[in-house]
Structure 1
Amino acid sequence: MAVLSPFSLLLLLFFIFSTSSASTIYEILTENGLPQGLLPDAVKEYSLSPNGEFVVEFSKPCYVFFTDLFYYEKRITGKLEYGRISNLSGIQVKKFFIWSSVEGIVATDDRTLDFTVGFLTEKHRFSEFAEIPTCRSKPGTSCRGAESLLISEA
């Protein structure tokens, strides 16, 4: 088994990153068979390792409403593979007044996305995430934010 020198390893990593035509995280998502609108417009920076592990930093935590209300923490992490994000942390969805963590997303052949929340999977239309959504500081007057679960009301 051949062992790569540090110089060869750096050249290999440079080649891997330079062969990708993507320059933004949104382009990387579409190159990997996922819609760009999975992430809101507040991305400050991101890193993607050769094995697909990623970190996305937002300028602030925020809310986005698709058919459900989603909450993005200031930092999300996961592993990106073609058509799938696994080991996801930092995104929550509100269903029936309960916030639950989204653990994975898989693109299916019928142009839907399967969102895994615990042992449950929910389908969303691929087209729902076609456009990059606007990051909102508050969920709106009719919705309560994730932080409200931590504060008891008198």
Structure 2
Amino acid sequence: MQRERERERQKRIIVVVAMKHRCFVSTFLSFFLLYRLGYRPATALPANGTGVHELLPKFGLPRGLLPQGVKSFSFSETDGRFLVLLEQPCYVEYEYLVYYDVNITGTLRYGSITDLKGIQVRKFFIWLDIDEIKVDLPPSDCIYFQVGIITKRLDVAQFANPRSCREGGCTWWDSVSFELPEPVMEEAMLITE
């Protein structure tokens, strides 16, 4: 009986060691393949003056596309992918109310941001994802926001400088509530001939 327990214990130890070894090998192979395929990790830009607000104009975009309160920023020079981490989610009032999530990702190219995630705009009472941002080349007074199949043109001047965040997206209209009257229970009518 004790020998069986000892064998079972040894089998469990062998399985655990094999699983740990397999994880190590698969992790090593994954990193090796990524390296061989040319993947290079994103380079973090230093916070001493070179940040996301300084990088945007180098790509023909206005500084104020992203709000103040950027905690960190990383950018891959090879494929243009970026990650912006805000201190907290926030709302900024432009021509429309805009929501910025804590994590904002996308691909930065000259004159555009594509594959954008983490920014929404409120149109009427609905929050819609902004998928893409573009400017005219050569530069003009317009900036274009792609929301699904709809493109909205706005004046680029309102994005000249980063705006400060505010918590919550409530305006006076959000606090208005509508109450429907209670349903009236009607008696069924008896139909006779």
Shift of 1:97: 1.1
Structure (1 or 2) with the larger CA radius of gyration: 2
Shift of 1:42: 1.0
CA gap of 1:83–1:110, structure 2 versus 1, over 3 A, is: same
Residue 40 (str. 1) matches residue 67 (str. 2): yes
Alignment of 1:1-150 (within 5 A): 23-50=50-77, 51-108=79-136, 109-142=139-172, 144=174
- Flag the structure with higher helix content: 2
Shift of 1:111: 2.2
Higher relative contact order (CA 8 A, sep 6+): 1
Distance across 2 between alignment mates of 1:124 and 1:37 = 13
For 1:91-144, what per-residue CA distance to the aligned partner results, in whole angstroms no more than 9, with x for missing partners? 000011111000000001432111000000000111010011001112243254
* 1:30 partner letter: P
Please name the residue that 1:3 is paired with. Answer: none
- After TM superposition, the score normalised by the length of structure 1 is 0.78
Distance across 2 between alignment mates of 1:113 and 1:93 = 15
CA gap of 1:84–1:143, structure 2 versus 1, over 3 A, is: farther
Distance across 1 between alignment mates of 2:170 and 2:150 = 27
Most deviating of 132-141 and 111-120? 132-141
SS of 2:91 mapped into structure 1: strand
Which runs of 5 or more residues in structure 2 are unaligned? Answer: 1-34, 180-193
Q: How much is the aligned-residue C-alpha RMSD, in angstroms?
A: 2.6
Alignment size in residue pairs: 132
- After TM superposition, the score normalised by the length of structure 2 is 0.62
- Flag the structure with higher strand content: 1
Distance across 2 between alignment mates of 1:143 and 1:35 = 30
Which runs of 5 or more residues in structure 1 are unaligned? Answer: 1-5, 146-152
SS of 2:114 mapped into structure 1: strand
Distance across 1 between alignment mates of 2:98 and 2:162 = 14
CA gap of 1:143–1:122, structure 2 versus 1, over 3 A, is: same
Please name the residue that 1:149 is paired with. Answer: none
